[in-house]
Amino acid sequence: MVASPRMDRTAPPPVKQEATRAAYGRALEALGHQRTDLVVLDADLSGSTKTRVFAKSFPDRFFNIGVAEMNMAGYAAGLALSGKLVYCSSFAMFAAGKAWEPIRQSIAITNANVKIVASHAGLTVGEDGASHQMLEDLALMRVLPNMRVIVPADSRQTEAAVAAIAEIDGPCYMRVSRAATPILQDLPSFELGRADVVRDGEDIALITCGVEVAECMKAADLLAEQGIDALVLNAATIKPLDDVTVAHVAQRCGRVMTVEEHQIIGGLGEAVASSLAQSGVAVPLRLHGMKGEFGQTGPAKNLLDHYCLDAAGIAAEVQSWLAS
């Protein structure tokens, strides 16, 4: 693993933003041109999940299953076991939560070639509130045998991931987001199972994924002003986790904080904790995320601020830890 060089911050370009779900829709439509065996399902949220982009180009290969996520999982399995490459989408709360048992029984057990791409995950779904803020999906999906779990950091990585998982024969769960987030500069493309150092440092390793990658990058800038040199590791694949790189950055920095818009139980944080323990790497570790509570309503920005999951909150969390 080679650390990428620090980004040149002397002349920052204007930061372009895009939601990863938008990239998903675009990439899915592109994939439809290459893969005639691709079939896409949605559960009445195609406008929001962006599968509608595919549906417009390929109406004969798009099926709206209606508000019936369990049945969508079953249909996805039936189509996949008949030879189709299946992508199915809904909000993460329903795609992973409501449909968990059919996913286990019909997709994971059979190793069916189904890609569950779940949008509107995490706190950043915002105003919809606690019922829609899926903060447990990574836990639910990580635990399933055969299931890979992916959380791309930005829209470009999402596009690459959509294409990459099409090449894998078996189930994948990919989380994309509602909120527009920065398109990161110098972000390596996606490779399943590989975590990338997106900013080098030696005082603390911030291991993160999804929308929190951009927040951790900004937090690292804030910490640099305080003389704290933070490394940021983008763990876009939660499962299988890149154990070698996780161990490497932990040893390099001697201290790790995981950052995720997910419960700290069962998500990236515990995946990293387990990996480090099994690698025999004993460094101070702090899991930062949702600490056993549900969210609340409000704009994503306010929620990230409230739960200390924006750049300032993450930086403050690091500083208080180092000071304690």
Rule CB under 8 A: say whether 143 interacts with another protein. Answer: no
Q: Which of 26, 52, 84, 255 binds another protein (CB under 8 A)?
A: 84
- Residue 57 as a binder of another protein (CB under 8 A): the answer is no
**C-beta of 51 vs 208, nearer to another protein:** 51
Active-site option among 69, 212, 260, 261: 69
Q: Note if 69 is an active site residue.
A: yes
Q: Is 49 in the site for another protein (CB under 8 A)?
A: no
Task: Sort 83 into a burial class: Cβ within 10 Å, 0-12 / 13-18 / 19+.
Answer: exposed
Reported as type and span, the H/E element at residue 242 is none
Q: Contact with another protein (CB under 8 A): which of 3, 7, 18, 110?
A: 110
Size of the site for another protein (CB under 8 A): 27
CB of 39 to another protein, least distance (A): 7
Q: How far is the CB of 130 from another protein (least distance, A)?
A: 24
How far apart are the C-alpha atoms of 239 and 283, rounded to whole Å?
Answer: 22
71 binds another protein (CB under 8 A): yes
Nearest to 119 by CA among 180, 57, 70: 180
Q: Is residue 76 a contact residue for another protein (CB under 8 A)? A: yes
Residue 70 engages another protein in binding (rule: CB under 8 A): yes
Task: Annotate 109-168 with DSSP letters as a single string.
Answer: TTT--EEEEEESBSGGGGGG-TTT-B-SHHHHHHTSTT-EEE--SSHHHHHHHHHHHHTS
If binding is defined by CB under 8 A, does position 185 make contact with another protein? no
- Point out which span in 72-80, 177-185, 199-207, 281-289 binds another protein (CB under 8 A): 72-80
DSSP code per residue over 55-96: HHH-GGGEEE--S-HHHHHHHHHHHHTTT-EEEEEEEHIIII
Length of the chain counted residue by residue: 324
Provide the phi-psi class of 268: left if phi over 0, else alpha when psi is between -120 and 50, else beta. Answer: alpha
Please list the active-site residues: 69
Chain residues that interact with another protein, rule: CB under 8 A: 39, 60-61, 63, 65-66, 68, 70-71, 73-84, 101-102, 105-106, 109-110
